[in-house]
Structure 1
């Protein structure tokens, strides 16, 4: 153990970069679908040693030691983050192969370009940690505070991208994920970093008289881990929420691939397939749509504008029983205002449809995917040959604001499209009047772009964490999977696997009392970081 620590601390040049890259990449094994939690110990332990060694790296003549140490830490953090994000986001390359004639040339931008940009955040975290670095156990908490803050920046800067946060190493495990009800993913981030970095303190014992003694910092980390696990076990021992009486849910997973058959020219066949699958008998208790209260279809269910096609709406509405409401993802045309003028625009939406094709309510996606649903800096990037993935002229326009859906006979619904489910602070509309609190979440998504890769499993894991953070059940319908009914504790009650065609039948679990994080998500996310920072400052000088 000790020679390894010395090797990392004293490494220079290409060896230091390789260690940083490989150490960061190991952390991806803690993410879905592998979920090997101990793998996160490797990058966090190495991170401590890399920052330790930032002052040991070769210095240029005349360089100031402190500024050089910070710069060395930044460089190590960038390579460390680059390894972590390449290993965690390699599956993005699959999207560029769906229409290779248009996008394959840009595949390196997805596989390496995005990780290269995201790596700037841990690089900043490493540099910030080095500024406050001190010997002993305090540096583990310093790393947790600095790297946790850089993750908070990644979650919020520009459009934000809180995917594969370090805290998902805990969040992928149901018992440990329960702590998100208190502190959200932000708290899981700082706790994961601190706990998984604590083994680096074992190397410090080489310089102590009693080398066999387990460092106090490691004992505290083990105690914290056990406390988190105990809290989760106690929380999960609560009785499973009952289903809302009289509500029967059916989720339809069509497993439609993005190919030439998914086009407006085949709309009649697509609708017929959806309706036949939705009315499929699966058991003596589930004989079709006759007793279904809520039918859900996935995001991007139609290769045409459903709201502009009365014939298609009539076909769907005519197949719905009187007491069945269909909730489906679909593009729609609406009006946006700019500079006092109104323009038509396309929205990625959720539609609630009743018998006869009547549209009861709509929700327009607010948080769009850059490069997927719209092109940032469009005028500049189009000159470089870039364009967004969806075949919508000009891309989608964002919805005006998050709003709840109103469905007959059901409590208010949180509408969530695709990766909106990974933004817990934006999940609910602000300042809801009393009596209008939501009863559940509907998340529709289309992960067909990513095939049989890690992406859909990571997406499910992050959507499940939202149910714990908000105390709300979720009905998640994914085109190619994984579709699921999830209770407010994050337990997957029913699911349909990746690239399977079929339906899920079940009830609608009742919500539970809003957990602490749901009451003040932004405040608690910041509070978790502040507590870790104060703990680090309190330990300064203690070796």
Structure 2
């Protein structure tokens, strides 16, 4: 056993927690925008050693599980603090109202999320053995905890360890088979395997698992290289997109006093010549970002008329916009929805998509906390009376001149397997978002990377319009065919890549993942019986 591994395994009390926290924090460097893949090895290799130490915590299950969960919580706390610190920027947009809550966002949310890896570490300890199969047990358990994190309490699958692989073109291609959680299983197994270099009793014990991990990584790269075609993806005929990125500060965006300034800015930028000299009237579809206006566009004929002057014959505008239903009898106002609306050259709204998966505390206050929060004078971030209402179901957005569109607003695009509606398969994923809340931090890069991975999973192109960036067009293989960087104002003119046939993940993703996890569990249980800890 190496001295470093031995030191981690034998660590107790606060040293153990500190080591776990540091290991977790290092793992965040493997995520966008850094993408330092070896950082995940430096994060998960000590995690395996910490679990080795938990196995020596004492006789019986209680001390072992307590020690494993303790290490898992501190590992997760470090991972989420380092990976999500940028959430604090949202509390400073209206600092007079929300700055006091900044520590709760920067430290409180990571502290809660850390209970998921704590569970994963404890589950891994139940399956722990003395041989190399314990790395597979760890990968299985941490993946299960990530699946739970992505679904429980409305779900928050942000920065799953699989994104360490899911941001690199060749490695991300396996998501077309197994999705984000399949990537997570592989990432944890590969990055945890080098732990055997420090604990193996023989040369074979030390090198077999790392060698297999290197072979799997090479296999993923080879699969990706073979899957991604050398030629550009064919474009959809008669479609010319123009994505407008206004780069509007969040503190100005939702001030109704700025309504005319904002509208004129959007119109001016949209009408500017593109980088290649293209005129805006050549665009068949102009796309604006999420919640583009501090007013209700569908109740503002003057603004709709201004939009009509922008659009050429037969062209349409697709834009984020808050929408309100007609009030019911006895109600002063109707229900508000975070929506995408389609407007033609006459200023007529042709259709809408209402957001299904709202952001807790950002777009609505959970009902069981609503009375308490309002009693102390607080509200959600978005200035909507009562918050937004979620749509009951996801539907395709019908846009003239485009194939059926799977519309997503903001972080709806981070949920694997949930971006497509039931029914006929669409041919395009549309994502409009406003990441201005988070400034020039890692947050917008992480958001874009996760939306990009949905294109690979589903075999569909992605069209993404973001207020401050990153706006982009991505083909079904995850290749960025055009983009606007974070923090700039401008337009992106691009063709629409064609969809490819449904991926294995699209057709059987749940089955593939479930079957893989069951196989891993059965293998871990078999090894546990043959090589018990005591």
TM-score class, shorter-chain normalisation, is: over 0.9
- Supply the distance in 1 between the matched residues of 2:37 and 2:326 (Cα, whole angstroms): 47
- Supply the distance in 1 between the matched residues of 2:506 and 2:220 (Cα, whole angstroms): 19
Alignment map for 1:17-166 (pairs within 5 Å): 17-57=17-57, 65-166=60-161
Q: CA shift at 1:313, angstroms? A: 1.2
Tell me if 1:493 matches 2:484. no
* Superposed CA RMSD: 2.0
Alignment map for 1:111-510 (pairs within 5 Å): 111-205=106-200, 207-208=201-202, 211=203, 214-260=206-252, 262-283=254-275, 285-287=277-279, 289-334=280-325, 344-376=334-366, 377-430=369-422, 432=423, 436-510=424-498
- Supply the distance in 2 between the matched residues of 1:534 and 1:379 (Cα, whole angstroms): 47
Post-superposition CA distance 1:361-383 (Å, at most 9, x none): 10000000011101122123333
Partner of 1:520: helix, strand, or coil? helix
- Supply the distance in 1 between the matched residues of 2:484 and 2:207 (Cα, whole angstroms): 46
Q: CA shift at 1:356, angstroms? A: 1.6
Whether the 8 Å CA contact 2:132–2:205 is kept in 1: the answer is no
Partner of 2:78: helix, strand, or coil? helix
Whether the 8 Å CA contact 2:271–2:310 is kept in 1: the answer is no
Partner of 1:375: helix, strand, or coil? coil
Deviating more after overlay: 144-153 vs 258-267: 258-267
Whether the 8 Å CA contact 2:252–2:258 is kept in 1: the answer is no
Post-superposition CA distance 1:454-494 (Å, at most 9, x none): 00000000000000001000110000001001000000111
- Supply the distance in 2 between the matched residues of 1:373 and 1:36 (Cα, whole angstroms): 33
Partner of 2:477: helix, strand, or coil? coil
Q: CA shift at 1:212, angstroms? A: 7.8
Flag structure 1 segments of 5+ consecutive residues without an equivalent: none
Partner of 1:507: helix, strand, or coil? strand
- Supply the distance in 2 between the matched residues of 1:49 and 1:441 (Cα, whole angstroms): 42
Post-superposition CA distance 1:378-421 (Å, at most 9, x none): 12333355421000011100012100011112211111100000
Of 507, 517, 522, the residue aligned with 1:519 is 507
Partner of 1:361: helix, strand, or coil? strand
Partner of 1:282: helix, strand, or coil? coil
Partner of 2:154: helix, strand, or coil? coil
Residues 334, 120 of structure 1: alpha-carbon distance in 2 compared, 3 angstrom cutoff: same
Whether the 8 Å CA contact 1:480–1:500 is kept in 2: the answer is yes
Whether the 8 Å CA contact 1:137–1:539 is kept in 2: the answer is no
Flag structure 2 segments of 5+ consecutive residues without an equivalent: none
Partner of 2:481: helix, strand, or coil? strand
Post-superposition CA distance 1:106-146 (Å, at most 9, x none): 00111000000000000001111111111011110110111
- Supply the distance in 1 between the matched residues of 2:445 and 2:497 (Cα, whole angstroms): 23
- Supply the distance in 2 between the matched residues of 1:492 and 1:337 (Cα, whole angstroms): 45
Please report the TM-score for the alignment, with normalisation by the length of structure 2.
0.95
Task: Give aligned pairs, total.
Answer: 529
- Supply the distance in 2 between the matched residues of 1:283 and 1:114 (Cα, whole angstroms): 41
Residues 141, 369 of structure 1: alpha-carbon distance in 2 compared, 3 angstrom cutoff: same
Q: CA shift at 1:425, angstroms? A: 1.7
Tell me if 1:9 matches 2:9. yes
Q: CA shift at 1:283, angstroms? A: 4.9
- Supply the distance in 2 between the matched residues of 1:216 and 1:281 (Cα, whole angstroms): 58
Q: CA shift at 1:529, angstroms? A: 2.2
Residues 14, 416 of structure 1: alpha-carbon distance in 2 compared, 3 angstrom cutoff: same
Q: CA shift at 1:538, angstroms? A: 4.2
Please report the TM-score for the alignment, with normalisation by the length of structure 1.
0.94
Whether the 8 Å CA contact 1:256–1:262 is kept in 2: the answer is no
Whether the 8 Å CA contact 1:70–1:130 is kept in 2: the answer is yes
